[in-house]
Amino acid sequence: MRATHIAVPVAKPSPAGLSGAGLRTFFRIMDSWHVDEAVRMRLLGASRSTYFRWRSDPEGARLGPDTLERLSYVLGIYKALHILLPNDAAADSWVSRPNTHPLFAGGTPMQRLQGGLVADLFVVRQYLDAERGWN
C-alpha cells in the first residue's frame, strides 16, 4: 500500500501574535539578567512611553519588524547561553561579566548589547552561535 501525504496548512504567526509572547519572554529574560529599565528600552529601541505601554500591556503591543528582530536576537542569545553554560546562574550572569574576547574589548557583553543598534545584538548572537558550532 502506498503512503499518502496530506498537506496540512500551517498558519504563519502574525506580528500581533508574536508581540505579546515575545515581550513577556523578553521581560522575564531581562529580570533574570538583572537589567535596568533604561537598558531594556535601549535593547528594544523603544522610547520611554512606548516601553512602559508595552510593559503594562504586552498583549496589546503591535511590534514592528525592527523590534521583533531585536527580540529574536535577545531570545537567541538567552537560548545559546543556556545551551553553552552548565547552569542557570552561570548562563544568566555571562552578560554582566567582563570578557576578553576582542568583540567585547574587556568590557561586558551587556555593554556591547546596549549599544542601541540591532547590529550590536546580532554580533553577540553570532558570536554565541559560533561558540555552539552553528556558523
Secondary structure class of 113 (helix, strand, coil): helix
pLDDT in tens for each of the 135 residues of the chain? Answer: 565 667 666 556 665 667 999 999 999 999 999 999 999 999 999 999 999 999 999 999 999 999 999 999 999 999 999 999 989 999 999 999 999 999 999 999 999 999 989 999 999 999 999 998 865
User: What is the distance between the terminal CA atoms of the chain, rounded to a whole angstrom?
Assistant: 42
Length of the chain: 135
Q: Which amino acid is at 122?
A: F
Domain ranges within the chain, ordered by starting residue: 15-131
DSSP annotation of 85? S
How far is CA 105 from each of CA 5, 112, 119, 121, rounded to the nearest angstrom?
53, 9, 17, 16
Write down the pLDDT at residue 21: 93
Closest of 53, 78, 74, 76 to residue 63, by C-alpha? 53
Q: How far apart are CA 21 and CA 25, in angstroms?
A: 6
